[in-house]
Structure 1
C-alpha cells in the first residue's frame, strides 16, 4: 500500500520537473494530477505488452497514479498493471493503485456466449444470484464485492490496493429502486470497511459514468450526499470508531462533458455557504472527497486540432490539443487527478508533459463558463 513517506519521496524526486500543483493531496500523501488509465485496448498479448511498457514509462516519468478495473480488457488490464509495478524501478509504496468492482469480468478473452459464461462462472457457483444482476452482468452485493476484490488482488499480485471503487453503481437502477441501490451500497460499504480494517485497501469510493452528472430527475441519477451518508453509516456500523474510508469519486470530466462543474444537481453540504443545490465538484470539495476524472481527453476525441472550442482553447496551456484538453480537466476546482488511457509511449510522454504547464486558476476556470 502507498505510504506517506514514499509518496512524498516520489514527489521530491520528480516534482521540480512539473508545474504548479502537479502533485496534489491524496490519501496519506500526494499523487500526480496526471494518471494513467487502462480501459482501452483489445484483450491481446500485443496490447498487454504495449500497455505494460506505457505504464512503466509513466511510473519512471512522474506519474504515480494507475487506475484499472476487474473487467478492463477481460481481466488482462489488472495483470498488466501488476507486472508493470513489479518491473518498475520505483517502490510499490510510492504509487497509488486503484481498481474497481461491479461488472462481472471475463477471464482473458471475450467468450462466444457471454450469457452462458455468466451463468456457468458466476450464477451456478453461487457467486451471484440472478436477482443480483442488472443488465445481465453487473452486481454490487457485499458477497460479489468481496469476491471481486479478492480476484483483483490476485490478478494484480498485490497485498492491497490504495483505492477500491464500486464501479458504475447507477447500472443497478435498471433493476431496482434508487432506495434499494443506496441500501445495496451501504451493505457493500460495510464489507469494504471491514477489508479496510484488515489492510486490504486504503480507501474506497464510487466510479460512475452518469450518476453524478445528470439532472436530479434522471433515471441514472444518484445523490452524492446520500452515497456519502451511507458510507458514514457503514463506518459507524463496522467501527472501531465513527470514521469511514469513503474518500474518492471518479467521473467523466472534460471540455465537452463539464456537467460535474456546471450542473447544480447535489444538495449543499450542511456546513457550506451555498444556498440551494451545488455542483458535484463543489459538493465533493466541501466534503473533503478526492475527485478523479475519467475521459479527460474524451478518449482521444479532444486530441485533434479544432476539437476544443477556440475561445476555451486560447485560455489553456499546452503545446498540443491533448495537453490543453488534459489541462482543462486538471484545472477544475476540486479535481485531484485526471486519467488518460494509452498504450502508446509517445502519448505517455505527451500526457506527462502536460503537467509541466500550470493549470488555470479558479477564477480563470470560472471565466470559461461566463
Structure 2
C-alpha cells in the first residue's frame, strides 16, 4: 500500500520537473494530479503489450496513480496494470493503486454467450444471487464485492489496494428502488470498513458515470448527502466514530464538454441544505475526486473551445484539456487513458504547467 514516505520520495525524485501543484495530497501521502486510466482498448495481446509499455513509462516519469477495474478490457486491464507495476523501477509503496467492484467481469475475452457465462461462472457457483443482479451484469452485495476484491488482488499481484470503488451503483436503480440502493450502499460500505481493518484496502469510494451529475428527478440520480450518510452509518456500525468512516474518494467524468459536476447544483449541503454541485459538495466534505474521461476518450485531443483554450496553459490541445480537469475544485487527479507510450510524455507534460486558480477557473464559466 502507498505510504507517506515512499510517495514523498517519489515526488522528490522529479525535483522541479513538474509544476508546484502537480503532486497533491491523498491518503497518507501525495499523488500525481495526472493518473493513468486503463478502460479503453480491445482485449488482445497486442493491446496488452502496448498498454504495459505505456504504464511503465508513466510510472517512471511522474505518474503514480493507476486506476483499473476487473471488467475493463474483459479482465485484461488489471493483469496489465499489475505486470506494469511489477516491471517499473518504482516502489509499490510509492503508487496509489485503485480498482473497483460492481460489474461481472469476463476472463480475457468476451464470451459467445455472455448470459450463459454469467450463469455458469457466477450464479451456479454461488458467487452472486440472480436477485442481486441488475441488468444481468451488476451486483454490489458484500459477498460479491468480497469475491471481486479477491479476484482483483490476485490479478494485480498485490496484497492490498489504496482505494476500492463501488462501481456505478446507479446501475442498481434499474432493478430496485432508490431507498433499496442506499441500503445496498450502506451494506457495501460496512463490508469495506472491515477490509480497511483487515489491511486489504486503504480507503473506499464510489465511481459513477451519471449518478452525481444528473438532477434529482433523473432515474439515475443518487444523492451525495445520502451516500455520505451511508458511510457514516457504516463507520458507526464498524464500532468507530461516524465521522471516521473510510469513504474518501469519488470518481466521475469531468471535462470541457462534460462539466456538469461543477456547473449543476444537484446536491444538498448536509449542514445548510444549500444546493451545490458534486465538486463543491466534495470540496466542502473533504472528499477527493478522480476526474475520469479527462480527454473524453481522446475526442479532446483534436481541440477544445477556443474561448476556454485561451485561458489554459499547455503546448497542445490535449495538455490544455488535461489542465482544465486538473483545475476543478476537489479534483486530486485527472485520469487519462495511457494506452500508447508515444502519448504518455505529452500527457504528463501538462503537469509542467500550472492549472487555473479558483477565481480563473470560475471565470471560464461566466
Indicate conservation of the 8 Å contact 1:269/1:287, yes or no. no
In the alignment, what sits opposite 2:308?
Answer: 312
In the alignment, what sits opposite 1:289?
Answer: 287
In the alignment, what sits opposite 1:104?
Answer: 104
SS at match of 1:351: helix
Q: How many residues align?
A: 365
Q: Distance in 2 between matches of 1:65 and 1:50?
A: 18
1:269: Cα distance to partner?
3.1
Q: CA RMSD in A?
A: 0.9
In the alignment, what sits opposite 2:39?
Answer: 39
In the alignment, what sits opposite 2:160?
Answer: 160
> Are 2:189 and 1:189 equivalent residues in the alignment?
yes
Q: Distance in 2 between matches of 1:241 and 1:266?
A: 24
Residue segments in structure 2 that go unaligned for 5+ positions in a row: none
Normalising to structure 1: TM-score of the pair? 0.97
1:1-370 aligned at under 5 Å gives the runs 1-242=1-242, 243-270=244-271, 276-305=274-303, 308-370=304-366
Q: Distance in 1 between matches of 2:162 and 2:48?
A: 23
Indicate conservation of the 8 Å contact 1:170/1:208, yes or no. yes
SS at match of 1:2: coil
Q: Distance in 2 between matches of 1:133 and 1:240?
A: 31
Q: Deviations over 1:220-251 (max 9, x none)?
A: 00001111110111011012554211100000
Choose 241-250 or 89-98, whichever is displaced more: 241-250
1:130: Cα distance to partner?
1.0
Alignment CA distance shift 1:9-1:106 (3 Å):
same
Residue segments in structure 1 that go unaligned for 5+ positions in a row: none
Indicate conservation of the 8 Å contact 1:214/1:220, yes or no. yes
Indicate conservation of the 8 Å contact 1:193/1:244, yes or no. yes
SS at match of 2:112: coil
SS at match of 1:358: coil
